[in-house]
Amino acid sequence: MNRVALVTGGTRGIGLGIARALADKGFDLALNGVRPESEVQGVVEGLRALGGEVRYVPGDVADGTSRDRLVQSLRHRPGRLHVLVNNAGVAPDVRADLLEASEDSYDRVMGINLKGPYFLTQAVARWMIEQKQADEAWAGCVVNVTSISATVVSTSRGEYCVSKAGLAMASRLWATRLAEEGIPVYEVRPGIIRTDMTAGIAEEYDPLIRGGLVPERRWGTPEDVGRAVVALATGEVPYATGTVLTVDGGLTLPRL
């Protein structure tokens, strides 16, 4: 049987790049998102064409009932899970200066970007431990997709930066707790990636990237992030729990 990966936010942008990369490596997929199944059917069929089983389970990771429903659904079918990719995330609806940002925006971003993956990891980790105790050959991991915004300041979207910094710490916490269970936890930290989320800043960033803001002088792609996640999910980076894999073309390298 194929190994199974759950990718939250896996039907668009970075999540879809990750899902495609995992499918290419022979994983069966469980995808989660908030859109109705009818809106993602084309994406699901495209992933199935790569050869594996693909399920879509709608739900909001910020909501505890939705998280429980997601995990119970996967326990029922396919009945196994090896890799959790906490990818789902949102930017603020409105970029606002720290002095003007709203509490509602903060709560929404933190709920989806931090609380959701924190407690989804808790639920999935319990299940992973059960699977490992039942089968010594079972191998799995957790991958949290954060952002260079975990350390790079943007005062017009402070809640996003705080959420990603929190998820970076959560990755370290879970890596420490789950190490004794034989379940590694990793953080993948993308830079400026060309997706629908960044479409609104493309005109601003195109000349900056060409001018050297990113040393590799190109946008990152969802495929770049997907290949990084696959390396971790397939065990190609052993003895490295807690590792932060930065996929940013050198953007955060200290330079003079």
Which residue numbers are catalytic?
A: 160
Burial 86-120 (b: 16+ CB within 10 A, else e): bbbbbbbeebbeeeebeeebbebbbbbbbbbbbeb
Sign of CA pseudo-dihedral 36, 168, 73, 79? positive
Distance between CA atoms of residues 129 and 131, nearest Å: 5
Q: Which one, of 31, 2, 28, lies nearest residue 15 by Cα?
A: 31
3-class DSSP state of 98: coil
Query: Quick count: other Cβ atoms within 10 Å of Cβ 78?
Result: 16
